[in-house]
């Protein structure tokens, strides 16, 4: 990841959503992007340039555009029509973004439009966030990385954020994932946690 004076940036043509520029780089604001918040809190996080990313919950393409500045290809899945319009406009400026209108909970509907992903990145505001991640695992390479941005209040408002977080970890492990790291995204995003997992490699 590229940093200038501890400011996270990405290399690409600016003016995607009115972002600031610094020395010719696009400033990646951790208060607007949960991935940027992750990168600010965990300095060793990386987006290898040869990576293929399956991005669930692409919204209007703000974070997608920055990810695309780093990696080979981003398959960006979004369900809502209005954000999809913005995502389409962003994809016109980034030829390595493949916008897909689809329901992240139904990966069979868009599986034929993607290729095996090195990184599965999920940021969806639905109750069954861990279930959605597990359903999409067939689209992730063995040994690939899942980065789940857990919106605890979208899962269950009757339980504490900590309880939702701990239950989600257990569900991911039961789904065949190895949890490698967890962290809360404070002060950038309240009641949001990041769970980083690796998909088990099938031996033989």
Residues belonging to the binding site for S-adenosyl-L-methionine are: 62-63, 78-79, 103-104, 123-126
CA gap 6, 20 in Å, rounded:
15
Apex 196 CA angle, 195 and 201, nearest 5: 135
CB 142 within 8 A of CB 161: no
Q: 63, 44 in Cβ contact below 8 A?
A: no
How many CA within 13 A on the CB side of residue 155? Answer: 24
Task: Give the C-alpha separation, 50 to 162, whole Å.
Answer: 35
- The sheet carrying 21-22 orders its strands as 2-4, 7-10, 25-27, 21-22
Sign of the Cα pseudo-torsion (6, 97, 187, 26, in order): positive
Q: Residue positions in the annotated binding site? A: 62-63, 78-79, 103-104, 123-126
Q: In this structure, are strands 21-22 and 97-101 parallel, antiparallel, or unpaired? A: unpaired
Of the candidates 100, 109, 1, the one whose C-alpha atom is nearest the C-alpha of residue 54 is: 100
């Amino acid at each position: 990841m590229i940093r200038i004076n501890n400011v996270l940036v990405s290399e690409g043509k600016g003016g995607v959503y009115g972002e600031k520029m610094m020395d010719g780089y696009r400033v990646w604001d951790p208060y607007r992007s949960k991935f940027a918040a992750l990168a600010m809190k965990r300095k060793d996080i990386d987006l290898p340039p040869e990576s293929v990313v399956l991005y669930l919950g692409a919204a209007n393409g703000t974070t997608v555009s920055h990810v695309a500045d780093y990696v080979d290809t981003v398959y960006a899945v979004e369900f809502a029509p209005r954000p999809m319009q913005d995502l389409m406009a962003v994809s016109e400026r980034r030829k390595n973004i493949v916008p897909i209108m689809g329901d992240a909970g139904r990966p069979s509907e868009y599986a034929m439009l993607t290729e095996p992903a090195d990184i599965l990145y999920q940021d969806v505001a639905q109750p069954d966030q861990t279930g959605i991640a597990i359903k999409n695992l067939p689209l992730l390479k063995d040994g690939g990385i899942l980065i789940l941005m857990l919106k605890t209040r979208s899962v269950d408002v009757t339980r504490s954020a900590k309880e939702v977080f701990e239950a989600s970890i257990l569900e991911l492990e039961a789904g065949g994932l190895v949890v490698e790291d967890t962290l809360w995204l404070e002060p950038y995003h309240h009641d949001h946690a990041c769970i980083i997992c690796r998909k088990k490699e099938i031996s033989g």
